[in-house]
Amino acid sequence: MDLPLERIVRALRTAGCVYAEDEAAILLEAARSPAELDGMLARRVAGLPLEHLVGWAQFHGMRMAVAPGVFVPRLRTEFLVGEAAQILREVVGTPRSGLPQAAPGAAVVLDLCCGSGAVGAALARDIDGLVVHAADIDPAAVACAAENLAAYGGKAYCGDLFDAIPPALRGHFDVIAANAPYVPTDAIAYMPPEARLFEPDAALNGGVDGLDIQRRIAAAAAGWLRPGGFLLVETSVRQSHASAAIMEGHGFSAGIRHSEELDGTVVVGRLGAPVSFP
């Protein structure tokens, strides 16, 4: 390559990239020619997200396909995956039959507001036999989700929340995991440029208090879950008690989980049973 590693790192660091060395290595791997590398570097320095440049994002030890304009999965959302996986391993598993596209006894998960489908794909890799469905309102995101879920037989649908899901799946989900937008509208202007300029508003904007989409999900989720099923939503520490109250107002028992390591916060709701599990 015409551009040595040191020059790439220097250009990225000057542009404010915190992990300049790591990003330089990724760009060098992705570029197929010196000219392409030069162009990718220029676009990254101009602010385009690295993931949109190379076509993938690192998440939960996996490379998730991410197209330009699609929400990039965050490290904190790995906590949502971990909480859902724990529930699936330790609580879910009662043999059942008659589930659409599922073997008897298979657990069924919905990755709602799925973006690239990173949560669903990570769970499908970690949990043997898991049946995953995913939905998002953004067609570009759904195309990425379909690609990321294909290896696990997962399905991705485009539409507004539960309107996207085949009616035959009502009452069949063990877990609904939602990384719904929860940024208050007025706070979007203060987000990093990579997010507010290059990711869709629908993936970020949660309304005046950031919780409008969570309210809609909680209001409808019970009809899509089996008895004793779980609803998990990512939220912020500041919003977590309000998120839990929303769930409780719709018949869920709710608990708040937080990871200091990942800076992730998840509210776990359960239908018809205490939220505590081993």
**Region 190-216: what's the mean pLDDT?**
95
Percent with pLDDT over 70 in the chain = 93
pLDDT for 3 = 55
| Confidence band for 91, pLDDT divided at 50, 70 and 90 | confident
- pLDDT higher than 80, residue 210: yes
pLDDT at 277: 53
Can you tell me which residue has the tokens 């993936």?
203
Q: What is the mean pLDDT of the chain?
A: 92
Whole-structure pTM value: 0.91
Helices 20-30 and 34-45, axial angle in degrees (round to 10): 140
Alpha helices, H only, 20-155? 20-30, 34-45, 50-54, 78-90, 118-126, 139-149
Residue 208 has pLDDT above 70, yes or no: yes
